[in-house]
Amino acid sequence: MKFFRLSTFSFLAFLLATSLLASGCAGKKKNKKKQDQLAALRGDDIPLSSELEDWQFVEANDPLVFNDVYFQYNSSIIREDARPQLERIAEWLKDRRNVALMIEGHCDERGSKEYNLALGEQRALSVRRYLTGLGVDAERVYTVSYGEEKPLSDLHDDEGWSENRRAHFLITR
| Residues at the contact surface with another protein, assessed by CB under 8 A | 43-52, 55, 74, 76, 110-115, 117-119, 121-122, 125, 129, 142-145, 149, 156
Distance linking the first and last C-alpha atoms of the chain: 38
* Residue among 132, 21, 18 at smallest CA distance from 78: 132
The whole-angstrom separation of Cα 47 and Cα 30 is 16
Count CB atoms within 10 A of the CB of residue 113: 11
Q: How far is the CB of 57 from another protein (least distance, A)?
A: 8
Cβ proximity to another protein, 81 vs 114, nearer residue: 114
Q: How far is the CB of 35 from another protein (least distance, A)?
A: 13
* Helix or strand run (H / E) with residue 126: helix 113-133
Residue 107 · residue 116 · CB < 8 Å = yes
Cβ proximity to another protein, 92 vs 132, nearer residue: 132
Cβ proximity to another protein, 5 vs 156, nearer residue: 156
The whole-angstrom separation of Cα 1 and Cα 29 is 34
Q: How far is the CB of 114 from another protein (least distance, A)?
A: 5
Cβ proximity to another protein, 70 vs 161, nearer residue: 161
Q: How far is the CB of 25 from another protein (least distance, A)?
A: 27
